[in-house]
Amino acid sequence: MDDPDVVDSWRDLLARHANTWCRLERELADKHGLGVSDFEVLDRMAESEHGKYRVQELADAVHLSQSALSRLISRLEKAGLVCRNMCAEDRRGVFVQITEAGTERHRAALPTHRAILTASLTP
């Protein structure tokens, strides 16, 4: 790949990312009281069948630092969308689990999310 080409493709990526992220942020916040990262976390947990996740696993999945995710979990937990469970085998570990309320909130927000993606990412 040529030098000006990577720059173009990087700028294109930045533009798509900014536009999509920004719209998601606004509409998810307005209509469902969720940030983009909040939704992304709920989304991951909703699609896993067992519904349990280690903190670090989630952090990798949504590209957040471990500390950022720890606080995000705290916020979601306070909102009742998620709960933390002790990990029996390794008592340092924590399982994060989506609650009924969390599943419900996710289900409600899903159409908004998908609609924006479709509108924003299809040329």
Partner DNA sequence: GTGCATTGAATGCATGTGCATATAGTGTGG
Partner DNA sequence: CCACACTATATGCACATGCATTCAATGCAC
Catalog residues that contact a second copy under the rule CB under 8 A.
Answer: 1, 3, 6-7, 9-10, 13-18, 20, 40, 63, 114, 117-118, 121-122
19-28 long-range CB contacts below 8 Å, 24 or more apart?
Answer: 19/120, 20/116, 20/117, 20/120, 20/121, 23/116, 23/120, 24/113, 24/116, 27/112, 27/116, 28/109, 28/112, 28/113
Is 78 a residue that touches DNA (CB under 7 A)? no
Calpha distance 4→9 (Å, rounded): 9
Is 110 a residue that touches DNA (CB under 7 A)? no
Is 79 a residue that touches DNA (CB under 7 A)? no
Beta-carbon contacts of 7 under 8 Å, excluding residues fewer than 6 positions away, are none
16 binds, among a second copy, DNA, none (CB under 5 to 8 A by kind): a second copy
* Nearest approach, Cβ of residue 97 and a second copy (Å): 22
φ/ψ bin of 4: left (φ > 0), alpha (ψ from -120 to 50), beta (otherwise): alpha
Is 68 a residue that touches DNA (CB under 7 A)? yes
Is 70 a residue that touches DNA (CB under 7 A)? yes
15 binds, among a second copy, DNA, none (CB under 5 to 8 A by kind): a second copy
Question: Contact positions toward DNA, by CB under 7 A?
Answer: 25-26, 35, 37, 54-56, 63-68, 70-75, 84, 87, 90-94
